[in-house]
Amino acid sequence: MKVPTAILTLIIGILITLASLWVSQNNDLLLPIAAASEAAEIDRLFASMMAIATGLFLIVQGALLYSLFAFRRKSDDQTDAEPVHGNVPLEIVWTAIPAMLVLWLGIYSFDVYQSIDSVGTMGSHNMAHQHGDMERVADADAATMVTDQGQMPSGALSQAVATETVEPLQVNVDGLQYAWLFTYPDTGIISGELHLPANRPVTLNISARDVIHAFWVPEFRLKQDAVPGQVTHLNFQPTKEGVYPVICAELCGAYHGAMKTRSIVHSGAEYQAWVDSQLVANTSRETVAQSVTKSPLEHHAAAMGMPHHLPDSHQSDLAQAAHSPSAS
């Protein structure tokens, strides 16, 4: 029995579509876990791209394999076969379909990019210095206005507004050859690892001290260039506690490959404990520095029968020497 070509094409089309959809929904092995709320949208975009790519792969490779066998040279055929001079409808189809797919993917990607950058720092990449902070202030104002006006009875809506008005945790990220430095302006903590609380919005203000680096955490699905002389931003919300790699994604010199650290997403209480421990460490460092400058000198002064307190100028010189790293 001979199956009509139209029906055969339809069946093959359905099978290819099903296979593409299956691959797009079952590619967990290709991606690390998603640990930020923005990751879901990126993963949806990735799934659409996988579906399209799988479909195209199957069509192209299938046509190739089919032709390999269906159009083999017959053993008794010594000719060059029928000359083929192109096929206008076919060429229109295989130009128009990819063009539409690329256009759609471009628009979709831009839409995802825009919705991820929800705090409104879009476009600040080029003028972060002048406008980044102003934009943020304007956004904060707008958010406050919404809550002021909002005697919204609807629970879901006021909750949505409430989550938006939670002040994002600010972290300044500094890329340098070959390390990342994280500074928390609220507390003055400086760390070589990025500690974050889960389920609180975060704004990273990223810059570089020497050459261009790029901040990348695959589990957050986020990557942003760190450019000298300019501040770039990433706005996101970590959702899963865990330890994730922070990787430099821009070839920045001989040891670029070693420019790695960790991002640790804590529960709220754990994060507070970390902040406290850092603050204690800072204070005790200062106390040690002070005691080092005073006690032994006072001890010696007493032994030599000198007055208990050295002249002020001496003390400040010594204190300075003890604070500067070259003193040790």
| Residue ranges binding Cu ion (CB under 5 A) | 213, 248, 252, 259
**Among candidates 296, 303, 302, which has minimal Cα distance to 318?**
296
Minimum distance between the CB of residue 190 and Cu ion, rounded to whole angstroms?
A: 19
Minimum distance between the CB of residue 263 and Cu ion, rounded to whole angstroms?
A: 16
**Among candidates 228, 265, 224, 222, which has minimal Cα distance to 243?**
265
**Among candidates 158, 231, 170, 155, which has minimal Cα distance to 200?**
170
Minimum distance between the CB of residue 39 and Cu ion, rounded to whole angstroms?
A: 23
Using the minimum distance from each CB to Cu ion, give the nearer residue, 227 or 252.
252
Minimum distance between the CB of residue 129 and Cu ion, rounded to whole angstroms?
A: 21
Yes or no: say if 56 and 105 are a contact pair by the CB < 8 Å rule.
no
Minimum distance between the CB of residue 242 and Cu ion, rounded to whole angstroms?
A: 23
Name every residue whose Cβ is closer than 8 Å to that of residue 49 and which is 6 or more positions away in sequence: 105
Distance CA 115, CA 41 (A): 9
Using the minimum distance from each CB to Cu ion, give the nearer residue, 50 or 259.
259
Using the minimum distance from each CB to Cu ion, give the nearer residue, 169 or 248.
248
Using the minimum distance from each CB to Cu ion, give the nearer residue, 140 or 211.
211
Minimum distance between the CB of residue 251 and Cu ion, rounded to whole angstroms?
A: 8
Minimum distance between the CB of residue 248 and Cu ion, rounded to whole angstroms?
A: 3
Using the minimum distance from each CB to Cu ion, give the nearer residue, 215 or 244.
215
Using the minimum distance from each CB to Cu ion, give the nearer residue, 239 or 261.
261
Yes or no: say if 176 and 209 are a contact pair by the CB < 8 Å rule.
yes
Q: Which two tokens stand for residue 68?
A: 């390999």
R_g over Cα of the chain = 31
Which single residue is written with the structure tokens 């810059």?
207
**One-letter amino acid of 125:** H
**One-letter amino acid of 55:** G
Yes or no: say if 244 and 35 are a contact pair by the CB < 8 Å rule.
yes
Using the minimum distance from each CB to Cu ion, give the nearer residue, 222 or 259.
259
**One-letter amino acid of 235:** N
